[in-house]
Chain A
Amino acid sequence: MGDVNNKKVSWVYSDIVKDHFMNPRNFVAGEGPEWEYNGVGEVGSPACGDVMRIWIKVEGQKSNGKITKIGWKTFGCASAIASTSILSEMVLKDGGMSTDEAKRIKAKDIVQVLGGLPKKKIHCSVLGDQALIKAIKNYELGIENNE
């Protein structure tokens, strides 16, 4: 598409970002997930242009259980959508992360697996780690299902 001299035209972000933006994983289409969740967290504001909400289902022991399901919704740009999508994959890898492990995910880890992001986009579009921490805290406080 739009080739000049058969050269491939570059995309805005990395190929990994493109893949997750075009084919987002684990997003929630409706108001909330169709499965039973026990933690939810939200960060961002419409005014800033990015809002992320993450739902999780934690199984096993209360203090350091395993996240077996995760769903998300994101209002934001392509890098915001891709970063939440890839975070959901990171969490579910190898049968699901423990909550302790998930809490240690930093924005820079997400950026790394995405194959990098423009510097100015990191602060605003990678908020998934914070939404996830909020969801885990929400679970730990035991506010189940009804937020």
Chain B
Amino acid sequence: MNDNSKNILYFDYASTTPVDQRVVAAMEPYWYKVCGNPSSLHYKGREAKDILDEKRVEMADLIGAKTNEIYFTSGGTESNNWALFGLVNVSGKKGQIIISSIEHKSVLYPANILQKRGYTVEVCPVNKVGLVDLDKLEQLVGDNTILVSVVYANNEIGVVQDLNKISKLIKKKNPDTYFHTDACQALNYLETDVGKLGVDLMTFNASKVYGPKGVGCLYIKEGVKISPFLYGGGQERAMRSGTENLPLIVGMVEAIKIARRISTNESSRLALLRDKIISRVKKEIPDSYLNGDGKKRLPNNVNLSFAGCEGESLVLYLDEAGFCVSTGSACSASDLEPSHVLLALGMKKGLAHGSLRISLGRWTNEEGVDRLSDVLPGVVEKVRMMSAI
């Protein structure tokens, strides 16, 4: 990372990314120079409004959308919540919602709440490597289906879904069903043209793409019937009230611009490093497993399980050795249940407790990858030596 903690190697870019210095620089004038409220009539207000409009145009261009299809939000969680609650609110009937079994909790939990409110929620399974079961999805979509939500690239196992194919399948069964995707992990590396993807709504945020935390976006295709998310001053065309956070919006757009510009090169660079870790682990650590498809996955995601190991222990020993990684273990979660994503792959709970996510990013280099790969076998060995299973 580009900070002063030189002895710490960060391998948790899927959790959040540091803000790129170029993004920090782009945001700088908007804290105090361009400081007006875009709703104000006076000079400072109009100055801010101009920038807001400009950023909306740029944002739209980056994902192949129209400017009136861009809604700025406070982040991925808000965008996902809005998509689910907003779409069902206007339908008027207690229809059906379909989500994949590996959605982020900010889709899963709203779906659970909607189920309690009387909506039918179907969870579409994935196969052993995390790809959505398309036959099953086709069976599930019916006349009553309000919405299908499928995560573009999963945050834990990095598996990438074929959204275009899923979209066609849904629309063929029911052209009135809306298709939403959570693309938070995808913007650095994958196709983001909403037309090519065939999505009606797309969630994304800045904090996974080297932009600031606390800002995101919901793309809502023109014509989609959705209720407002926040009521008040009527910002975002009366769909999402609240004074627009100009510095963060500027930061997000700048961050996504940079990410798109370097996407191809960065993807190939990281895929090589990713595969290096995976091959070294397979070679040097017995009873280790890669979770999720080996090919259809984000170039920066490594997710492994080690038999006999518990994830929190692995994370904390690695932390002590100076490496930041994460786990889908129960002990790291507030509900003490192992990751629903790993269980959705059909993994036994015991093994799901022993998962480790290593996610790479802009400041990951080969030397760091080698250092982590050198240390990992010893840490796994240490945990296994103590393990009672």
List A residues at the B interface (Cβ < 8 Å): 1-3, 12, 21-22, 24, 27, 29, 42, 44, 46-53, 72-81, 120-121, 124-125
Contact = CB atoms under 8 A, between A and B. Distances in A.
Nearest to A12: B316
Contact of A49 (B5, B308, B322, B331): B331
A75 B388 contact: yes
Among A50, A52, A53: residue with most chain B CB under 10 A: A50
Contacts of B329: 49, 77
Interface residues of B, number: 27
30 contacts: A2-B5, A2-B8, A12-B316, A22-B320, A27-B385, A27-B386, A46-B348, A46-B350, A47-B348, A49-B329, A49-B336, A49-B338, A49-B353, A51-B387, A51-B388, A75-B309, A75-B388, A75-B389, A76-B313, A76-B331, A77-B312, A79-B331, A81-B313, A81-B386, A120-B336, A121-B331, A124-B330, A124-B331, A124-B336, A125-B331
Nearest to A124: B336
A24 B320 CA distance: 15
Given A78-B313, A124-B336, 16 more contacts: A1-B7, A2-B5, A3-B5, A21-B313, A27-B386, A48-B349, A49-B310, A49-B331, A73-B386, A74-B386, A74-B388, A76-B313, A77-B312, A77-B329, A77-B331, A78-B312
- Chain A interface, >50% SS class: mixed
A24 B388 contact: no
Contact of B387 (A21, A73, A120): A73
Interface string B306-349: 00111111001000101000000111001010100000000011
A3 B350 CA distance: 35
Contacts of B7: 1
Interface in B1-53: 5, 7-8
A24 B313 contact: no
Given A49-B310, A51-B389, A75-B310, A1 B8 contact: yes
A68 to B, nearest CB: 22
A29 B385 contact: yes
A13 to B, nearest CB: 9
B3 to A, nearest CB: 9
Contacts of B5: 1-3
Contacts of A50: 310
A73 B350 contact: no
A47 B349 contact: yes
Contacts of A49: 310, 329-331, 336, 338, 349-350, 353
A73 B310 CA distance: 13
B388 A21 contact: no
B165 to A, nearest CB: 35
A75 B308 contact: yes
A124 B337 CA distance: 11
A124 to B, nearest CB: 6
B39 to A, nearest CB: 36
Contacts of A21: 313, 316
A76 B387 CA distance: 8
